[in-house]
């Protein structure tokens, strides 16, 4: 299985002091698929400026994420027979890129099968890496384990530079800049054989693709003789399309359901990984999606059984060659973004709730303050000036009680008659009676 540490070990050699690339050949192809020019160079004899530019291209061809930009592809069985593409690549490797006919065959095969509109440059590097033995704790021993001889091929678009103004030294003036054809970073490429566990695996090659949305599957099969393999991005997009096609007509917010599906798949993947850790399996098999897992994922949703069956059927049809890896279907960035948005919404709701509580508390305190001030006014001695405007008797009582109050004159004296029940109380100027 392809490992990051093996790729990094090779990339560390693409430095001036460590580089042992023996030869570099190439072919410049125009938009009409014509070979414009071919090159063949002893790599270490290049001028420094060119040396570092080519070395940067070689390094870029081994960049990216394993399973997404870097795929370990295996040759079809017939391609390992005499006359097969694996046998041809072995011959090209052994020739050290010094056989023009073998090189021309490689260029022709790429030109015939590489679907690209525009000019591009095919580059092939040959190197022999003396792999030093390492101990279990990665300490190097001063002895060779094997010599890893390999080919590294890069296909780079060649684009016309953008028009613009610039200093024209030949005219000593500012004028229209002369446009050049500029070699861009590799679009696709491959390493043959693969470098697996610090050793050559002649039954596979490591394929590089810059845009993980399109692995150029036809090119893989026709030009390289390997079984096509989807990138993680392609698997994710294909499964997402299957689900969205099924749920969009019946679910108003399909994006929310897609995120929920992502979270469930992530939980299932984490549970599986934890179980594998407990079993202490050094190289566990890839955990791939099945129709049973799909059924489990949609079990708690409101999706009709017919829609779930549609997803299962389309999934089986789309991934008939090889089921996708569950982890590849999980968009961790989307889940993280969704969780962040949920936290922000919850925080806003909590803030709004606290603001309402403060408002209610403030209103309640104002009402209590007003009641207290009223009571104080009732119980406090009146100001002489203010008292002039007050009646000698000021009463507060319930309306139904006020209806029963009577006025009477006894022996020429006015009286106010207030009937009282046994359980009723009177507060006279703050004194209970």
pLDDT tens track for 108-118: 999 999 999 99
Residue 282's pLDDT is what? 55
Mean pLDDT for the chain?
87
Specify the DSSP class assigned to residue 16: T
Residue 69: pLDDT over 80? yes
3-state secondary structure of 107: helix
Residue 259's pLDDT is what? 87
330: exposed, middle or buried (Cβ count in 10 Å: 0-12, 13-18, 19+): buried
Please write the tens of the pLDDT for every residue from 227-261: 989 999 999 999 999 999 998 888 877 788 888 88
Q: Tell me how long the chain is.
A: 433
277: exposed, middle or buried (Cβ count in 10 Å: 0-12, 13-18, 19+): exposed
Residue of 51, 237, 32 whose CA lies nearest to 120: 32
Q: What percent of the chain has pLDDT over 70?
A: 90
Residue of 197, 208, 201 whose CA lies nearest to 74: 201
Residue 385's pLDDT is what? 58
Tell me, rounded to whole angstroms, the distance of Cα 85 from its chain centroid: 36
- Whole-model pTM: value is 0.74
């Amino acid at each position: 299985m392809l490992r990051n540490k093996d790729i990094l070990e090779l990339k560390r050699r693409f430095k001036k002091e460590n580089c042992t690339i023996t030869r570099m050949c190439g072919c410049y192809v125009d938009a009409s698929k014509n070979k414009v020019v071919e090159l063949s160079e002893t790599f270490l004899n290049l001028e420094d400026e060119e040396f570092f530019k080519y070395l940067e291209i070689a390094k870029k061809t081994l960049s990216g994420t394993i399973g997404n930009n870097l795929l370990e592809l295996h040759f079809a069985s017939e391609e390992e027979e005499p006359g097969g593409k694996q046998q041809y690549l072995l011959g090209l490797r052994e020739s050290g890129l010094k056989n023009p006919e073998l090189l021309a065959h490689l260029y022709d095969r790429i030109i015939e099968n590489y679907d690209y509109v525009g000019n591009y440059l095919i580059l092939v590097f040959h190197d022999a890496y003396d792999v030093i033995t390492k101990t279990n704790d990665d300490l190097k021993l001063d002895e060779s384990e094997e010599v890893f001889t390999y080919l590294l091929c890069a296909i780079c678009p060649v684009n016309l530079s953008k028009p613009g103004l610039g200093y024209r030294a030949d005219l000593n003036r500012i004028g229209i800049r002369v446009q050049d054809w500029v070699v861009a970073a590799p679009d696709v490429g491959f390493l043959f054989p693969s470098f697996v566990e610090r050793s050559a695996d002649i039954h596979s090659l490591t394929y590089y693709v810059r845009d993980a949305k399109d692995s150029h599957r036809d090119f893989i099969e026709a030009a390289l003789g390997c079984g096509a393999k989807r990138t993680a991005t392609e698997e994710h997009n294909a499964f997402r399309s299957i689900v969205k096609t099924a749920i969009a007509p019946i679910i108003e917010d399909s994006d929310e359901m897609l995120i929920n599906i992502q979270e469930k798949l992530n939980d299932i993947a984490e549970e599986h990984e934890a179980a594998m850790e407990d079993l202490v399996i050094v190289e566990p098999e890839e955990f791939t999606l099945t129709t049973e897992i799909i059924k489990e994922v949609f079990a708690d949703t409101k999706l009709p059984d017919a829609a779930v069956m549609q997803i299962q059927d389309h999934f089986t049809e789309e991934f008939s060659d090889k089921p996708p890896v569950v982890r590849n279907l999980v968009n961790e960035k989307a889940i993280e973004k969704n969780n962040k948005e949920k936290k922000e919404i919850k925080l806003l709701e909590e803030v709004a709730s606290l603001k309402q509580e403060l408002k209610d508390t403030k209103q309640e305190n104002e009402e209590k303050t007003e009641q207290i001030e009223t009571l104080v006014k009732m119980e406090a001695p009146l100001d002489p000036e203010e008292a002039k405007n007050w009646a000698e008797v000021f009463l507060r009582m319930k309306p139904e009680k006020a209806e029963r109050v009577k006025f009477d004159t006894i022996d020429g004296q006015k009286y106010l008659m207030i009937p009282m029940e046994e359980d009723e109380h009177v507060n006279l100027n703050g004194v209970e009676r």
